[in-house]
Amino acid sequence: MGVPSTALFTDHYELTMLQAALHAGTADRHAVFEVFTRRLPDGRRYGVVAGTGRVLDAVENFRFGEGELGFLRERGIVDEQTLDWLAGHRFSGDIWGYPEGEVYFPGSPILRVEGSFAECVLLETVILSILNHDSAIAAAASRMASAAGERPLIEMGARRTHELAAVAASRAAYVGGFATTSDLAAGFRYGIPTVGTSAHAFTLLHDSERDAFRAQVDSLGEGTTLLVDTYDVREAVRTAVEVAGPELGAVRIDSGDLLLVAHRVRKELDELGAEHTKIVVTSDLDEYAIASLRAAPVDAYGVGTQLVTGSGHPTCSMVYKLVARAESADPAEPLVPVAKKSVGGKSSIGGRKWAARRLDRDGVAEAEVVGTGPVPADLVDHQLLVRLAKGGEVVAREPLDAVRARHVAARDGLPLSATQLSRGEPVIPTEYV
């Protein structure tokens, strides 16, 4: 599942900019780049920072070996001077950012990368690729987790996206609140709990539904989950309990009017003495469908397509912009704020930024405060950026369960309207000082 290098996970023009800067003598100028988004996806009340751990892995693995250099030389993408520079390249700068799992808003400086212009500019594409994808999935997962309440969510979208994106999506979904995944690669790489039993093909393989259920129970035990909508759901539930007994773990429903069918299945299970058998529902669920099933006797949800596509918003529109630079490579040289000035809502704000979340008297977030000058005394203890890498070395790796717990705490610290599924503006404003 791994790749030997992330160095070519970039755009052609990153390297041509590097070459031109080397020739101009400006490549070593100290530079500050920031990742932010100008707006949240339509209707979203907050964003979720996800993928930070993968970004740090990608930065560490950003190495130009013989294969990568040979490709660049063969294609004539950059000249020999630039190839020589790339051959010895190792990121040596600093990275600060919102801790993974934290929430963010328009203008939040989600990630800050500092170092020479040359080493920072090369990271633009791979950083945005990871953060835009993972944060979109995590935001969808968070909304689904809010809709599900205490009921667990199963990520099962591997067959609905690119095979490597599926692994990243499983990780992001776990950050956003999902409990398990069907993707074994995600379990292997990130330690996410994996689950799964059988599909309709297993039932169709056997001469009867009873034979299929018997084979599954004999192999996996009475605590397994039996799929009951291949033929007639009512008959299947009766057969499932006859085969597994009242200790049957769960039944899964994958089609039909889930609200109606779930009530009928619960009633039948109870009448058969299987009061503790759980009901799992799947079938193209999103946060709205999950919310509509809140009153149904459902114990868990399996979500695929809508999750791994960001539930209609597969990217967060994050950008990576130069916000400050020095006039030389001297570390003592003062930074000069720089900003893009353009029409059409694509301008940026110059200067290295800090961010803090102001709370009301009840400890609930009331504003995201972003500034470039001194941090006000009342916000010093509420700053959001933490150091992630120092001098090229990662200093902030953490277990995925800690990231997952952080997200729950961050979401719980927002106004209650943050979890509403109705369209609305960001739940708190961004203030610039």
Q: Give all domains of the chain, ordered by start, each with its CATH number.
A: 12-136+313-432 (3.20.140.10), 145-311 (3.20.20.70)
Give the pLDDT score at 132: 98
pLDDT value of position 331: 77
What does residue 373 show for φ and ψ, rounded to 5 degrees? -95, -155
Q: Is 344 left (phi over 0), alpha (psi -120 to 50) or beta?
A: left
* Matching residue, tokens 């952080």: 406
DSSP string computed for 109-175: --EEEEEEHHHHHTTHHHHHHHHHHHHHHHHHHHHHHHHHTTS-EEE--GGGS-HHHHHHHHHHHHH
| Rounded Cα–Cα distance for residues 268 and 262 (Å) | 10
Q: 382: buried, middle or exposed (CB in 10 Å: 19+, 13-18, 0-12)?
A: middle
Which one-letter amino acid corresponds to residue 56? L
Q: What is the pLDDT of residue 347?
A: 77
pLDDT means over runs of 10, the chain (433 residues)? 80 98 97 97 95 97 96 98 97 98 98 97 98 98 97 97 96 98 97 97 98 98 98 98 98 96 98 98 96 97 97 96 93 90 79 97 98 96 98 96 98 96 93 95
Q: Which residues pair with 394 in a beta bridge?
A: 389
Per-residue confidence (pLDDT) for residue 223, from 0 to 100: 97
pLDDT for the residue numbered 423: 84
Q: Is 201 helix (H, G, I), strand (E, B) or coil?
A: helix
What are the residues facing 30 on neighbouring strands?
A: 116
Q: Tell which residue, 119, 61, 115, has the closest CA to residue 85.
A: 119
**Spatial contact of 193 and 187, defined as CB atoms under 8 Å apart:** yes
